Amino acid sequence: MAQKPARAVALQYDASVSSAAPKVLARGKGEVAEKILALARERGIPLYRDPELVEVLGQLDVGAQIQPELYHAVAEVLIFIYKMNQKKRATVVEQIRKQAITVRARR
C-alpha cells in the first residue's frame, strides 16, 4: 500500500494584536510539506501532529485567517507550542546555570 504524501500547514499568530486570528502562513503536500517541516525543524519551531486539522487547514488559502469554528482546535495547538517554548526556556536557563557553576568552579 502506497504511503500518503506528507501534508503540512504553518500558522502565524500575533498575540499582540487582540483582534487578529491565527492565519495560514504556508501549506503544502509532498515535497512542499517536507520543506515546510524541515524549515520548522531548522528554526526550532515546535511541530504538532493532527492529520484531521491539517486536512481542514490545508483547504484555506495562504494568508487566510482561520474561521471561528476552528478556534478551539487551533487554541490547542497554541497551548502546545506555548508549553514547548516554556520547556525550551527552562532548559536554556538550566544550561546557563550549569555553565555559570562550571565557570565559578574553574576560578
The grid coordinates listed for 54 are 491539517
- pLDDT value of residue 90: 76
- Paired residues of 9 in beta bridges: 27
Q: Which domains does the chain have, with CATH numbers?
A: 7-77 (3.40.1690.10)
Q: What is the largest CA-CA distance in the chain?
A: 62
- pLDDT value of residue 4: 79
Lowest mean pLDDT: which of 15-24, 59-68, 79-88, 89-98? Answer: 89-98
- pLDDT value of residue 105: 53
Each residue's pLDDT tens digit, 22-73: 999 999 999 999 999 999 999 988 888 899 999 999 999 999 999 989 988 8
- pLDDT value of residue 103: 54
Eight-class DSSP state of 60? S
CA 37 to chain centre: 10
- pLDDT value of residue 38: 94
The grid coordinates listed for 42 are 531548522
| More confidently predicted of 32 and 81 | 32
Lowest mean pLDDT: which of 8-17, 73-82, 91-100? Answer: 91-100
- The rounded distance, in Å, linking the Cα atoms of 54 and 77 is 11
- The rounded distance, in Å, linking the Cα atoms of 46 and 81 is 6
Are the CB atoms for 27 and 57 separated by under 8 Å? yes
